[in-house]
Amino acid sequence: MKNPLNKRFARELKSDAGKYIAVFLFLVLFIGVISGFLVADNSVSAAYREGFDKYNIEDGHITFKTEPPAEILSQIEKAGELEFYNLFYKNEALVGFDADTVKTVRVYSLRDTVNTVCLMEGKMPGRADEIAIDRLFAETNKVNIGDTLRFSECEYKVSGYVALPDYSCLYENNSDMMFSAVNFCVAIVTPEGFDNLGDSHLFFNYAWKYLKPYADETEQNDRSEALIKSLENIIKKYDEKLIQAQVDKVWSDAVSLSEELENKFREAADEIENKVKKAGEDAVKDALATFSQDEISEMLLKESDMTEEQVYSAMMEKANLTSAQKMKLAADSRTLSEDELLEEAMEMTGLTQDDIAAMLLEITGITEERAGEILLGEYCEKNNTTARALVAAKLGTTEKAIKDMQTAFEDAENLTGDLDINSKEAPKIDFDKLEKDSDIESGLDFSFDDIYSIIGKVDATGIYDTAEIRKTLGRLEKLMDIHPDDSDLIEIKDYIPRYQNMAIMFTGNDMNSDHATVVLMLYIMLVILAFVFAVTISNTISKEAGSIGTLRASGYSGGELIRHYLVLPVTVTALGAVAGNILGYTVFESLFVKIYYTSYSLVTYKTLMNGEAFLLTTVSSVALMLIVNIFVLARKMKVRPLDFLRGEVSSRKRKKAVKISPKLPFLQRFGLRIFFQNAGSYAVLFFGILFGGILAVFGMLFGPMFEEYSVLARETMFCDYQYIVKKDSVETDNAQAEKFCMTALDSDVKGYVKDSVSIYGIADNSSYIKADIPAGEVLVSEGIMKKFRFEPGDKLTLKEPYSTKTYSFTIAGDYPYLASLAVFMPRDDYLEMFDKSGDYFTGYFSNSELTDIDEDDIYTTIRLQDATKIVDQLSSLIGFMDIFMYFGVVIFLLLMFLLTKQIIEKNSRSIAMTKILGFKNGEIAKLYLLATSAAVVISLLLSVPVIHLLLQWAFRYYLYVKMSGYIPYIVSNTCYIKLFVMGIASYAVVAALMLLKIRKVPMGEALKNQNM
């Protein structure tokens, strides 16, 4: 025999149709949405995952500034045990598309090995003037197949829509806070079409695939780290070699020039020496002319050790006289002095004064030069002057100039060894110090200043024209003062292993986190629903206590009754879940697929049957409903049959009535009694409102948050323009301009995705960064402080991009700047930390446009409006968030309806009694809805701070960890006001329904025996 109690089910369903229909519809909708999402997520996710193999997605890529030689690529391939694939691209701006924003298209040539293309619609480009563009960009920007896209150099006709598996998420740069299908697109053209674009925006990008697949993420990470190190070494060696070749070439030129210079120096030195010598001789001649022969002889004799007689004898002997001449002189010796006799002898032999002088020098052994000096000395003494003054006078210059020149020449003697470049080797270049020591001159042992000093002293004498020397020296100096040509250096513009590539990985990560969030939502909602059922079942048990007691007394077991009371909620749940699943597969799946496809550039997918979705939505739902209800019912059924018969259905010991002050007005006391009677229901109501509220606020908060952020980001921009210049020789006359230094490092905080952080070196007493930054410490932007949860005194470690080098900063505090993640440090500290010379700078802060700087010298300009660019991108992604808000409202309505209804039903006898006593319907509604109204208002008010804290927690520990960049957690008060209004409006609808229900309670209810 079938259990006759089963016959109740249909009638129970009919009599409580409102409750069951509401729950059923909600379950169908809720599970439909969840199931639809899970099926969509699973199908799309499977297509995404399979795409890694199907489209042979890269293991990473490197983008170089210039095309590296083949040998370098092969060295890297060998070191990293990988193979490179050429995936060059060109970043081109669309022309004539949208005047307000720049839309960048990253154009690739057709690919057939890695990151192969998924054609979504139309056809692949077959001609040079055809282009296949990303489907999502096309849909977002309403570009149709057949439309023409124009770039500055050429135009293409759109042949089809594609999805590139390495751009499932359209991140233009990996460090971008958010991807954007509004302003960024990827596209494919034919090789000829690629060449037609010109090379001005060409990037030398190489995707790599490891030769041996990695086992897990740890190995992937280790391999990437090892690859970075190898890259650093290989490229450093290559670049150093390149620079060294430049230096060697310069050195060789310098050697030739230095030889030329040496000759010029030699010529100059000879000429100057001759001039000085000649002037000295002339001075001596002048001196000689002022002395008599006797005076000269006397001076020479004085210098020699010989007596006058000895000199006379020697002279006579030297005169080589004949016998007759000797006889004549002997005869005259009686009348003439020795000098007169010598003079006579000279006449006899025909000797001149010069001959006599030479003879005298010969006899005394005094050199002609010494004699000149003696004579000049005597002359100078006599005339109170100096030999140098006489020479200077002869040369037409000053004595000091000559003296200085002579000193300089003496110094130059010491320099000659250093100046001999030929004997030296070219300086060896240390690549790491190249930027600082860009001038080879400093590697030499002399300075050009020393040489210029000597030349200057020669110039001061006026005796030699140094113009030629100066000219040659200038050439040498210019040659030596080289700035290495770095245009051919290999420089990495981008290095991203696959696991760090947001464009590839974000979609999958997002789908995983969406999946987890949705499953969590499902469970929370089911638990709340299970408790709603538990509350209503408790209520039913209370109502039917007498019958249950009789049945128990008649021999029905607790288990039989538990099973009986489980049937309806579990059946409704199961039916709702099955219907929901059907709806999920048929309606919502395509809706969620659409949402995914409007966010991501996904490849094609196939709808897959999802066992997990069925398990989670149907099996789990029923199981959860069973567990919670069995738990509640089992507790209830512990009550003894007799207690059921007495209507004492609480398994807990009977509590005394809560004391309520009789001074309170009757209505309030009554309300409080209802409140205490239904405390359990109100607890469930609170959690339902909280959950619905979280969904509703989550659905509403982003719009106002982005607006607020936009305002704050603009307000905290410390200047209207930030110019990053290409070299530190770019100057401006604008008085507002203030130089600053800047570089970008990567964050390296464990557990967080990588962020790009701008490091600013700020001038003392900056007009723009008005903060006292302690030496040796830094101020960080609010984003760094809040996102990474730093405190003053903490250490911030940042990493050089594409390198293993790290930098550590001590945080002194935060600086109110919201446009990006930034570190502010004193300029001197910056120069020291990044090993820069004293006059180095990166750009200018200014509040007015710098019009005197050549556009070509500006690397980039950050304007005030750029601070909020990200907001525009983010705002385009939040369209579907409203769905959360609507869901929140549905939850409000459902829970308020079910719980208020059961409160009214529980008290239907009392309501009937109050009617008999003469209460009007409105008064009764006040009595029974007052407590519920208060509970709704209190729940809404209490849920606001709880929602605020929960969402803040979610931002801090989830969103900030998963996404790069920073947006402050700002929930506009309007969100909470809207939440409150939605809650009250939902309750107003429910209260109106309950009013009708109260009206329908017949007075006869009070007269009935209290049966089931």
By the rule CB under 8 A, 652 interacts with other proteins: no
CA 263/CA 315 separation, integer angstroms:
48
Does the protein bind other proteins through residue 19 (CB under 8 A)? no
Residue with smaller CB distance to other proteins, 213 or 555: 555
Whichever of 14 and 663 has its CB closer to other proteins, that residue is 14
What is the C-alpha to C-alpha distance for residues 539 and 902, in angstroms, rounded to an integer?
7
Q: Which stretch binds other proteins (CB under 8 A): 223-231, 248-256, 298-306, 1002-1010?
A: 1002-1010
Nearest distance, CB of residue 554 and other proteins, angstroms: 5
Sketch the per residue contact string, 265 through 294, with other proteins: x for CB under 8 A, - otherwise: ------------------------------
Task: Give the DSSP letter of residue 798.
Answer: E
Write each residue from 544 to 573 as x if it is in contact with other proteins (CB under 8 A), else as -, in one continuous string.
x-xx-xxxxxxxxxx---------------
Contact 131, 193 (CB under 8 A): yes
Among 433, 478, 594, 1008, binds other proteins (CB under 8 A): 1008
State both tokens at 133: 């563009």
In the bound complex, what is the minimum distance in angstroms from residue 557's beta carbon to other proteins? 5
Q: Which stretch binds other proteins (CB under 8 A): 143-151, 329-337, 840-848, 1004-1012?
A: 1004-1012
Between 5 and 341, whose beta carbon lies closer to other proteins? 5
CB 566 to other proteins: min, Å: 17
Q: How many beta carbons lie within 10 A of that of residue 334, not counting itself? A: 6
Binding mask 587-626 for other proteins (x = CB under 8 A): ----------------------------------------
**Structural contact between residues 461 and 401, judged by C-beta atoms closer than 8 angstroms:** yes
**CA 661 to CA 996: how far, in whole Å?**
32
The helix, strand and coil proportions of the chain, stated in percent and rounded to the nearest 5, come to 60, 10, 25
Which residue's CB is nearer to other proteins, number 57 or number 545?
545
Containing 244, the helix (H) or strand (E) segment is helix 217-289
Q: How many CB atoms lie within 10 A of CB 132?
A: 30
With CB under 8 A as the contact rule, the residue among 74, 367, 513, 1010 that binds other proteins is: 1010
CA–CA separation, 693 and 983 (whole Å): 8
x/- contact string, 211-250, with other proteins (CB under 8 A)?
Answer: ----------------------------------------
For residues 6 and 804, which CB has a smaller minimum distance to other proteins in the complex? 6
What does the alpha-carbon distance between residue 667 and residue 684 come to, in Å, rounded to a whole number? 24
Residues in the chain, total: 1012
Q: What are the C-alpha distances in Å from 678 to residues 113, 650, 692, 928?
A: 68, 13, 21, 11
Report, in Å, the least distance between residue 654 CB and other proteins: 12
- Nearest approach, Cβ of residue 1004 and other proteins (Å): 8
Q: Please give the full DSSP string across 534-578, using - where no structure is assigned.
A: HHHHHHHHHHTHHHHHHHHHHT--HHHHHHHHHHHHHHHHHHHHH
Q: Which is nearer to other proteins, 543 or 739 (CB)?
A: 543
Nearer to other proteins, 3 or 367 (CB): 3
Whole-number Å distance between alpha carbons of 967 and 819: 9
Binding segment (CB under 8 A) for other proteins, from list 396-404, 540-548, 677-685, 894-902: 540-548
Q: Which is nearer to other proteins, 569 or 641 (CB)?
A: 641
Tokens of 1010: 């209290």
Matching residue, tokens 């050009």: 448
86: which 2 tokens? 């050429």
Q: Does 1012 bind other proteins (CB under 8 A)?
A: yes
Query: What is the C-alpha separation between 178 and 702, in angstroms, rounded?
Result: 14
Q: How far is the CB of 651 from other proteins (least distance, A)?
A: 14
Q: Single out the residue of 144, 148, 447, 1011 in contact with other proteins (rule: CB under 8 A).
A: 1011
Judged by CB under 8 A, which of 5, 460, 959, 970 binds other proteins? 5
Q: Name, in order, each residue with C-beta under 8 angstroms of 396's C-beta and a sequence gap of 6 or more.
A: 462, 463
CB of 550 to other proteins, least distance (A): 4
Cα–Cα dist 871/709, whole Å: 8
Q: How many residues bind other proteins (CB under 8 A)?
A: 32
Question: What is the closest distance, in whole angstroms, from the C-beta atom of residue 640 to other proteins in the complex?
Answer: 7
Residue 547: CB minimum distance to other proteins, A: 5
- Position 762, amino acid: I
Distance of CA 782 to CAs 53, 792, 817, 1004, Å? Answer: 42, 12, 6, 68
Check binding of 7 to other proteins (CB under 8 A). Answer: yes
User: Cβ of residue 539: shortest distance to other proteins, in angstroms?
Assistant: 15
Interface pattern 632-651 for other proteins (x via CB under 8 A) = --------xxx--x------
Sign of CA dihedral 829, 830, 832, 836: negative
Residues that bind other proteins (CB under 8 A): 1-5, 7-8, 11-12, 15, 544, 546-547, 549-558, 640-642, 645, 1008-1012
